[in-house]
Amino acid sequence: MSAKKYVPIGNILPPMPCSWSVGPYMERFYQDLGEKKFTGVKCKCGRVSVPPRKLCPACGKVMEKFVVVKPTGELVNFTVAYQNVAGQRRKTPVIIGLVKLAGADTALIGEVRGLDPAAVKTGIKVKAVWADKPGNTVESLSHFAPVEG
């Protein structure tokens, strides 16, 4: 009995440009990223969520007070990616980190550059590095980098 052979057929779907609403909370977050600001929401219980979300993860109440937090924070967790999303080996590994910004109680994800992947550890202080031409997208944030000194 011979083994079955599978022939890749490539991308059979035509490009389908589309857009959708991310909702008012994330819309505000992306607009403010374009202005080099991180916006979150503060609950009456005091918890600040960045990126913003409608319901407080601590008490479950609706959060409506938008606040701006500092573009610096702490690396609270990370992974080092040696492959890209297609499974191909990267020439250089990439650090993907969870960063808790100063003034926030939650963390957001982003690439961390300027650190040796073999020596990276939690607790490192980092700062946002903005794209050369920020827009109203997640790509306004280029990456995070270690704070000097």
Read off the pLDDT of residues 19-69 as tens digits, 9 standing for 90 and up.
778 889 999 999 999 999 999 999 999 999 999 999 999 999 999 999 999
Is 125 inside any structural domain?
A: yes
| Strand 89-101, strand 72-83: pairing | antiparallel
* Number of neighbours of residue 128 by Cβ within 10 angstroms: 21
Is 103 inside any structural domain?
A: yes
Which tens digits make up the pLDDT trace of 94-120?
999 999 999 999 999 999 999 999 999
* pTM score over 0.75: yes
Low-confidence winner among 61-65, 68-72, 87-91, 122-126 (lowest mean pLDDT):
87-91
Higher pLDDT, 84 or 38: 38
Is 18 inside any structural domain?
A: no
Residue 106 belongs to a domain with what CATH number? 2.40.50.140
Question: What is the pLDDT at residue 35?
Answer: 93
DSSP secondary structure code for residue 114 in this structure: S
- The total of structural domains in the chain comes to 1
Low-confidence winner among 1-10, 26-35, 52-61, 78-87 (lowest mean pLDDT):
1-10
Residue 41's domain comprises 23-146
Question: What is the pLDDT at residue 86?
Answer: 82
Token pair 């610096």 in the structure block, residue: 72
